[in-house]
Amino acid sequence: MHKHPLLTHVPLMTVPSNFVMERGEEELVVDDSFMTDYAIQIQAIGAAARWLDVEDGWDGPKYLREKSWLIDMLEHAFLPDQMTGWNGKRQFELLSLKMPQPLESWESEEQKRAREMVERTVGGCWCLKLAHGISGKFFDDTLGMLWRRYDGSDCVEGTYAGWMRWAEVSCKQDNPTKPMEMPVFEPTMVGRLADHL
């Protein structure tokens, strides 16, 4: 898909070299072109945003700046991953901890980390992205994989996971997410879009 004429001006995504994924008896090499095809929707929006078609009136860079509402995915969807160095097992352990009982003023360092993860995620993220597929091959088990494996562990009452689940559906953020400001940039493709269909 990445070789389609509409997408060729967008650079390929990069993955660690020599990454091999087992698939039954076969091996699947995950290289830059494979990863790009896996997330082709990102390439497609990147292609449209970098295209200038004067004849048909399409100015991708201008459209992106003026009409798109983009957010930083790392900051607003992958915060627990960043807080734990992309360690799904660590996230699972922290969120599975029991919270201090009512009237207990003391919390352990681990409970403090778990509380901060929940507070920052619920208070500042617009979602919690739970990766499953290929991400697990890059980062071992993800939080989403572990929650799926241990059914119900994402909502155990009295745990930080249960508290996060409750807060996500019961609370409203005080400071709604703001879009990123897009810089002015030159198109990487100039010409009639229709000529490439």
Global pTM reads 0.75
Cβ atoms < 10 Å from Cβ of 161: 24
Half-sphere exposure for 111 (CA within 13 Å, toward CB): 12
Strand 51-53 with 189-190, pairing = parallel
For residue 194, what are its two tokens?
Answer: 């229709």
29-45 pLDDT tens trace: 778 888 888 888 888 88
SS3 string of the chain? CCCCCCCCCCCCCCCCCCCEEEECCEEEECCHHHHHHHCHHHHHHHHHHCEEECCCCEEHHHHHHHHCCCCCHHHHCCHHHHHCCCCHHHHHHHHHCECCCCCCCCCCHHHHHHHHHHHHHHHHCCCCCCCCHHHHHHHCCCHHHHHHHCCCHHHCCCEHHHHHHHHHHHCCCCCCCCCCCCCCCCCCEECCHHHHC
Close Cβ partners of 134 (under 8 Å, ≥ 6 residues apart): 21, 30, 35, 38
121-177 pLDDT tens trace: 999 888 888 887 776 666 678 999 999 999 999 999 999 999 999 999 999 888 888
59-95 pLDDT tens trace: 999 999 999 888 888 888 889 999 998 899 999 999 9
Q: Which amino acid is at 47?
A: A
